[in-house]
Amino acid sequence: MSKVGLDVEAVRARFSALRSPIAFLDGPGGTQCPDCVIEAVAAYLREANANLGGAFETSRRSEALVARAHEAAASFLGCRPGETVFGQNMTTLNFALSRSLARGLRAGDELLVTRLDHDGNVAPWLELAQDLALKVGFVDVLDDTTLDLDDLERKLSPRTRVVAFPLASNAVGTVTDATRIAALAHDAGALAWADAVHFAPHGPIDVASLGVDVLLCSAYKFFGPHLGLAYVCEDVARAWHPYKVRPAPDEPVGSRFETGTLPHELLAGFVACVEYLRGLGWEAIQAHERTLGERFLAGLPARCTLHGLPTMHGRVPTFAFTVGELAPREVAERLAASGIAVWDGDYYAIEVMARLGLALGGAVRAGFVHYTTADDVDRLLSELERLP
């Protein structure tokens, strides 16, 4: 497989799920897994299934796997293994981590979220505000669905403790200027708290370059199993008092926030997933996705209204659109009947949907990933053209 070009058919041959006639354009809600991930999960359960701390072979294998998974997570995020945390999913991790932070917050402290966020990076802060008499401010979105950085600057204050934001919108695909947001947060003395769930399948993540203090994502969105992953900067993590059982280790520092026994079989699948992506290379993935996105944008029927950036600049290939007067659910059902999987609704991005005037019914959402083909895109465009 070329380092520059992507052999899509060779890629698809590695996914048994893609032998289906369905065009899987539902990636924003969860991607398919390559066979190597599935095989890794099964192999762990066959050969190494045990809890940690035992003197016997399968327990030692499990301990080695947990260490290997943290190393894979570190390579994926650009941090140290001890700064990585595994959990059920991004939202569950976010509620847990935000509550550890909250032990140091006081009434009147301020938290900023954005109207571009998935609610998984909004609701934890709203709940904390209710519990602790905190203030939550919403950073607005411009008409083109980019984040209003001027509004962010206006809303920052000496009482701001957290700026929570997405790397990319799960609803409209907009990519944020994460480096700039993190710098503004730090200038105000606040933590930069990033949701990378939607960006993770589309490009490399380097927490050091981004300058974020906390970053969360979910492996099932980037071709892995249902598993959450977080990065917490070591200095930040050491300042928090975690919620954990007393015998659980304090080192490495990220393990303080991993409650109970981890799903070891899913860690095995995660390691395989990271190795799979490393073998493809982000340059090839991004070039292929850009071509697919441009194909879609150029062919979108006139009666379809795109809600988001009209070019591939500043976005990932996730598209929210409406079709004439048809309800998004009706469009999704008609496409499903033709073997095309897309989403409808608000996708838990309720703020941006309200901002766009789509609070009732939301929009249709189609997303492309590296295993999507040009034929998949053409099938979607053709069926949209046929809709009454």
| Alpha helical stretches, state H, the chain | 8-12, 35-47, 57-77, 90-102, 123-132, 149-155, 178-187, 207-210, 234-238, 264-280, 282-299, 328-337, 350-355, 374-386
Find the range with the poorest average confidence among 142-146, 221-225, 240-244, 306-310: 240-244
237 pLDDT higher than 60? yes
Helix pair 90-102, 123-132: axis angle to 10 deg: 30
Residue 249 has pLDDT above 90, yes or no: no
Which token pair is 173?
């695909």
Q: Is the pLDDT at 201 greater than 70, yes or no?
A: yes
As a whole number, mean pLDDT of residues 235-253 equals: 92
Q: For residue range 308-355, what is the model confidence (pLDDT) as tens digits?
A: 999 999 999 999 999 999 999 999 999 999 999 999 999 999 999 999
Q: Compute the average pLDDT of residues 39-63.
A: 97
Do the beta carbons of residue 340 and residue 383 sit within 8 Å? yes
Look at residue 119 and tell me whether its pLDDT is greater than 50.
Answer: yes
Domains and CATH numbers, the chain: 8-34+280-386 (3.90.1150.10), 39-277 (3.40.640.10)
SS3 call for 291: helix
Write down the pLDDT at residue 305.
Answer: 98
Give me the mean pLDDT over the 196-225 stretch: 98
One-letter identity of residue 64? A
**Mean per-residue pLDDT of the chain:** 97
- The answer, yes or no, to whether residue 55 has pLDDT greater than 50, is yes
Q: Whole-model pTM?
A: 0.96
Instruction: Identify residue 382 by its one-letter amino acid code.
Output: S
- How much is the pLDDT for 2? 38
Flag whether pLDDT at 1 surpasses 50.
Answer: no
pLDDT at 209: 97
Q: What percent of the chain has pLDDT over 90?
A: 96
Q: How confident is the model at residue 4 (pLDDT cuts 50, 70, 90)?
A: low
pLDDT of 102 over the 80 cut: yes
Once rounded to an integer, what is the mean pLDDT over residues 371-376? Answer: 98
Residues 61, 191: contact at Cβ < 8 Å? no
Q: Which residue has the tokens 């998974």?
A: 69
Query: In sequence order, which residues have a C-beta less than 8 Å from that of residue 350 and are 6 or more positions away?
Result: 119, 359
